[in-house]
Structure 1
Amino acid sequence: MLPRAVRPDGRLRLVIFDCDGVLIDSEGLSCRAVARELRQIGLDLDDEAAVHRFAGKALTAIKIEAEAETGRALPADWAATMQGKLVELMRREARTIDGAHGMLTAVVGLDLPVRVGSNSSIAEMDVKFGRTGLDRFVADRIHSARDMGKPKPDPAVYLHAAAIEGVAPDDCIVLEDTDTGARAAQAAGMACVLLRPLDHPAPDWPGLFRIGHLSEFAPFLERILVSQGRDGGRS
Structure 2
Amino acid sequence: MRYDLVIFDNDGVLVDSEPISNTILAGYLTELGYPTSYEDSIRDYMGSAMHRIHELVLERTGRRLPEDFDEVFHGRVFAAFERELQPVPGVTEMLEKLAADGVPYCVASSGSHERIRVGHRKTGLDRWFAARCVFSSQDVGRGKPAPDLFLHAAREMGVAPERCAVIEDSPLGVQAAVAAGMDVYGFTAMTPAAKLVEPGATRLFAHMAELPELLQ
| Structure 2 length-normalised TM | 0.89
CA distance in structure 2 between the aligned counterparts of 1:77 and 1:153, rounded to whole angstroms: 25
Q: CA RMSD in A?
A: 2.1
Q: Against the structure 1 CA distance between its residues 150 and 104, is the aligned structure 2 distance closer, same or farther, given a 3 Å change threshold? A: same
In structure 1, the residue matched to 2:151 is 159
In structure 1, the residue matched to 2:51 is 60
Give me the identity figure in percent: 34
Q: Which runs of 5+ in 1 are unaligned?
A: 6-10, 223-235
Give the letter aligned to residue 136 of structure 2: S
Q: Which runs of 5+ in 2 are unaligned?
A: none
Radius of gyration: which is bigger?
A: 1
> Pairwise mapping of residues 5-154 of structure 1 onto structure 2 (< 5 A)?
11-140=2-131, 141-154=133-146
CA distance in structure 1 between the aligned counterparts of 2:61 and 2:80, rounded to whole angstroms: 26
Give the letter aligned to residue 194 of structure 2: P
Displacement of 1:192: 0.8
Q: Secondary structure of 1:20's match? A: coil
CA distance in structure 1 between the aligned counterparts of 2:168 and 2:200, rounded to whole angstroms: 15
**Counterpart check, 1:201 vs 2:194:** yes
Displacement of 1:124: 0.8
Displacement of 1:59: 1.8
Matched residues, number:
213
CA distance in structure 2 between the aligned counterparts of 1:72 and 1:132, rounded to whole angstroms: 37
Displacement of 1:80: 4.2
Give the letter aligned to residue 123 of structure 2: T
Deviations 1:70-94 (A, max 9, x none): 4433123423442343233323322
CA distance in structure 2 between the aligned counterparts of 1:144 and 1:165, rounded to whole angstroms: 14
In structure 1, the residue matched to 2:204 is 210
CA distance in structure 2 between the aligned counterparts of 1:39 and 1:147, rounded to whole angstroms: 30
Name which of 161, 165, 175 aligns with 1:183: 175
Deviations 1:150-203 (A, max 9, x none): 211121221111112111111110100011001111111111100015964232
CA distance in structure 1 between the aligned counterparts of 2:91 and 2:10, rounded to whole angstroms: 11
